[in-house]
Amino acid sequence: MSDFPAYAPSEEHELLRRTVRELADAKIAPFAAEVDEESRFPQEALDALAASGLHAVHVPESYGGAGADALATVIVIEEVARACASSSLIPAVNKLGTVPLLLAGSEELKQRYLAPVARGEAMFSYALSEADAGSDAAGMKTRAVREGDFWVLNGTKMWITNAGVSQFYTVMAVTDPSAGARGISAFVVEKSDAGVSFGPPERKLGIKGSPTRQVILEDVRIPADRMIGAEGTGFKTALATLDHTRITIAAQALGIAQGALDFAIGYVRQRRQFGRPVADFQGVQFMLADMAMRLEGARQLTYHAAVKSERAMRGEPVADLTFVSSACKALASDVAMDVTTDAVQLLGGYGYTREFPVERMMRDAKITQIYEGTNQIQRMVMARQLLK
């Protein structure tokens, strides 16, 4: 086996894939259309994932988690997204919210906050963006002012995934306005902290089952030991976090695309026109071939990036992690948008209706090109890595 590429999934990874797919098909997919239609949180998915220990598989064993590697986490997110993109944001956002702690948090913070996430008692969201600080995240206005043994936070975070449902939040705030990006620090804020509230749920094109809301901080007073890492290192931690979690968005995109491709293949085999299955027509066959080819290319790049992410989390130097994580996110999300659009086309008029899932998948795919850094930003990041 030593001659296999480093990112080849092991037998354990493939067993995990089968396990998650069976669970997703049985306990998540049946509710996906309803979750989308009603714009409600997929509680059935959270319950099923937590019962099987699949809601936050990345949490290390030392904090009560499964200790799954980055590739295993990608496979979990991919397989859940194949059934329901909204539900895949449960394991994905749990990772996004907790990676800052894993990278820079004190041991006490890790023990306090990772353990309940591992047990399925809490979810963890990530609060970086603001209304005027999206792609330019360093332009944030949220402030944290030191008062003795406490920090007092004021500001509003925007587009926060699973806001209001998650119990814990990694919040970036300015602690030194004169220092630019080096004046940003990271904190753990709890939903129950006095002064924390949430805006109304955004009315969205897709991922309607995952609430996206403002996190509003009004004189939120938290103990100083809830700072993640040293003062002024928050933005560095934020960027390092995204190097790892862009890969999970790629995984989500892969799953959405795979779900659309699988459904389209089944449909064109059954649908008959001109006295024969639609699948017999060469034009349709070429579309399917291109969909599958591009999807597999994106999958291989994503798995490759996942292995690099795992090595970096273990402290190994990985010079090109930023490049490959941006590359897989941009490629996989572009592929997901193309594949889901083609799936709608293959279903013809039926594809444009809510009677079939591909229109939902097409709507869900769009956000993967936007969040955790738009694909235009990803291309800027990649270019900088190439030219530096």
Query: Which structural domains are found in the chain, ordered by start?
Result: 11-118 (1.10.540.10), 124-232 (2.40.110.10), 235-387 (1.20.140.10)
For residue 38, indicate whether it is catalytic. no
Residue 1, pLDDT > 70, answer no
Q: Which of 380, 220, 388, 247 has its CA nearest to residue 308? A: 247
Instruction: Give the H or E element holding residue 175.
Output: none
Instruction: Please identify which of the residues 79, 130, 310, 372 carries the catalytic annotation.
Output: 372
pLDDT tens figures, 50-62: 999 999 999 999 9
Residue 300, pLDDT > 60, answer yes
pLDDT of residue 361: 99
Q: How confident is the model at residue 8 (pLDDT cuts 50, 70, 90)?
A: confident
SS3 state of residue 77? helix
- Phi, psi (deg, nearest 5) at residue 364: -65, -35
pLDDT tens figures, 235-263: 999 999 999 999 999 999 999 999 999 99
Residue 6, pLDDT > 80, answer no
Residue 3, pLDDT > 50, answer no
Per DSSP (E only), the strands in the chain are 124-127, 143-147, 150-161, 168-174, 184-190, 196-198, 212-223, 227-228, 272-273, 276-277
Sign of CA dihedral 116, 118, 121, 124: positive
* pTM score: 0.97
pLDDT tens figures, 23-40: 999 999 999 999 999 999
pLDDT of residue 221: 98
**Taking the CB of residue 272, how many other CB atoms lie within 10 A of it?**
12
**1-10, 261-270, 360-369: segment of lowest average pLDDT:** 1-10
Work out the mean pLDDT of the chain and round it to a whole number. 97
